[in-house]
Amino acid sequence: YGCFQPDTRVFPFKENRDHNGRDADRANKNNPYSRFIWEIEYDNRDPVQIRERGRAYMTPKYVRLFLAMKLYPPSRAGTYEAAVVLWGKADEDSDTITVMKAVSFGTQDLSHDHKQDFFQRRADRLVGVNVNRWENARNDDAAWSITLPFRGFLFRVSKGAPGEKGTTEYVLDDLQDGAVQDFVIDLRRAAREYENQVLE
């Protein structure tokens, strides 16, 4: 209906928006901007389109994390390619978008052509994934997990309305290390779900 609708988004309650900024997303019923957005694509959107859409999502400073999963149709032999990329603004004082992690986790490694689709440099897309940056989960146990930093979810999330002096307190202002754990995506579970639904 004239705007993107991500598969999953996480945003604060309205009372916890950033009262010191323009934290109202017209594309999402004027709720606070999403801090995390997740898109899962199968046979419709390619990596170029994913990066174009991701660029639009991440333009507002409040959107800190974008996770895109691309699942390719299986071959006749029953093998398949699968990719996931996490883009983020890791530095709370910067809006620079970087590739935080890129994993090939299909039964078949991501092809050179598909890696190139994720890499091509263009101004209207998210920063590309260097072809040498990909981790292969089938060869590396640590690659099966994608860690989403909790600080991205809590970026400029206020504790409520401004105080008597008009000052806004943010959740991250006095959050001690270890008080909140990062979120973890289990790619083994994602692969299992995909195989159960698509492979015969």
The 10s digit of each residue's pLDDT in 135-163 is 999 999 999 999 999 999 999 999 998 88
Question: Residue 2 above 60 pLDDT?
Answer: no
pLDDT band at 1 (very low <50, low <70, confident <90, very high): very low
Query: What pLDDT score does 176 carry?
Result: 80
pLDDT for 4? 66
Q: CB within 8 A of 37, min separation 6: which ones?
A: 6, 8, 9, 54, 57, 58, 63, 65, 66, 67
Chain centroid offset of residue 157 CA: 18
b/e per residue, 190-200, with b = 16+ CB within 10 A?
Answer: bbeebeeeeee
Residue 177, pLDDT score:
76
pTM: 0.93
How far is 136 from 138, CA to CA, in rounded Å?
5
For 40, the enclosing helix (H) or strand (E) is strand 36-41
- Residues 26-31 have a mean pLDDT of 92
pLDDT in tens, 106-138: 999 999 999 999 998 888 899 999 999 999 999
User: What pLDDT is attached to residue 187?
Assistant: 97
92-110 confidence digits (pLDDT tens): 888 999 999 999 999 999 9
pLDDT digits (tens, 9 = 90+) for 36-89: 999 999 977 889 999 999 999 999 999 999 999 999 999 988 899 999 999 999
At residue 3, does pLDDT exceed 60? no
Mean pLDDT of 154-178: 88
pLDDT > 90: percent of the chain? 76
